[in-house]
Structure 1
Amino acid sequence: MAEEELKMEEGGKKKKLIIIIIAAVVLLAGGGAAAYFLLGDSEEVTTEVVEGEAESTEEATASAPSQSGSALYVAMPRPFVFNVPGSTRDRLVEIKVQLMLRGYDNEEQIKMHIPSIEGALLRVFSTANADDLVTEAGKIAIRDSALKEVQKKMQEITGKQLVEEVLFTGFVMQ
């Protein structure tokens, strides 16, 4: 009887060991596949998109900021939180903004003039309407007017537009 118990315990240990080994192999294979798909392909897609955007913006206008160098992003230090009137009720909006520009010199100038840029963005955001911001077209319109206002402000201060895009990295409306 003691021999049967020992055999059963040894068989149970072997099954547990096999299950643990199989689980470890599946986990490693899944992790490797996930790393390959997440890290491997994203660089190629990003490069193609940035090159395509650069070509289309170069053709758009000659007065646009210089297209030399890689794209740099400067985040505004605080999100913009403000009230907007709507037809039924007022809404609270929070927008996180980043500015796309090119060149490290331009980045330093932008960082030096962040308070002026924030003021320009607040002027644009204060003219918004909740009914417009609900639609995609309204968001695009306010983003475009924000870009024009920031470029105008930078033209006044530095003599160059510097900023290529105003990007909304977070947009919440309650």
Structure 2
Amino acid sequence: MAEAAQPAQGGSKTKLIIIISVVVLLVLGLGIGATLYLTGVFSHKKAGAHATESVPKKPAIYLSIEPALVVNLGPDQPVRFLQVGIDVMARSHKIIDAVKQNMPAVRNRLISLLSGQKYAVVSTQAGKEALRKQVLENINEVLKANGETKPVEQVYFTNFVMQ
């Protein structure tokens, strides 16, 4: 009878080793899965962000507003002149064509904006940057008023002379 008990104990040792191995593998797998989840590998937001980064932007298309705009600065100041060369940037010929088609309205809006500026403000870098943003907004407002849904992306000052 002692001989019959020994093979049974050998089988239970094998079962114990298999159970311990399965438990260790499960704990290891759960640990790896939790680490990957907490580091954001399974995050849908990151996958979407990488997908949009891989899509290349269309090349930039530029249009110079010619001739450069020349205005007198604010009525409450000594006579001062501002000459600004402006280029607009978009990524679609349709938007550039819309700017060309609405150029009289764009120029009118920009002349009104520029002539209301104060010399002390636009002579600073922060003032020029604020003015650049206002120019962009004004151009996009003209386009929107005329049915264009996509805006001009950027505006650049290519010439900025104050006297």
State the TM bucket, normalised to the shorter chain.
0.5 to 0.7
Task: Give the equivalent residue in structure 1 for 2:73.
Answer: 84
Superposed, which structure 2 residues align to 1:94-173 within 5 Å?
94-173=83-162
Q: Is the 8 A contact 2:98 2:148 kept in 1?
A: no
Separation in 2 of the partners of 1:149 and 1:85? 18
- After superposition, give the CA deviation of every residue in 1:61-109 in whole Å (9 maximum; x if it has no partner): xxxxxx9521111111211111114987331111011111111222222
Separation in 2 of the partners of 1:97 and 1:88? 24
TM-score normalised by structure 1 residue count: 0.57
Separation in 2 of the partners of 1:110 and 1:125? 18
Task: Give the equivalent residue in structure 1 for 2:28.
Answer: none
CA RMSD, Structure 1 to Structure 2 (Å) = 2.6
Q: Is the 8 A contact 1:100 1:163 kept in 2?
A: yes
Q: Is the 8 A contact 1:81 1:94 kept in 2?
A: yes
Match of 1:73 among 62, 80, 100: 62
Separation in 2 of the partners of 1:140 and 1:86? 22
Q: Is the 8 A contact 1:86 1:131 kept in 2?
A: no
Separation in 2 of the partners of 1:143 and 1:159? 21
- What is the aligned residue count? 111
Q: Gapped runs of 5+ residues in structure 2?
A: 1-48
TM-score normalised by structure 2 residue count: 0.60
Runs of 4+ in structure 1 displaced over 4 angstroms?
Answer: none
- After superposition, give the CA deviation of every residue in 1:18-73 in whole Å (9 maximum; x if it has no partner): xxxxxxxxxxxxxxxxxxxxxxxxxxxxxxxxxxxxx9xx9xxxxxxxx9521111
Q: Is the 8 A contact 1:117 1:150 kept in 2?
A: yes
Q: Gapped runs of 5+ residues in structure 1?
A: 1-54, 59-66
Q: Is the 8 A contact 1:93 1:172 kept in 2?
A: yes
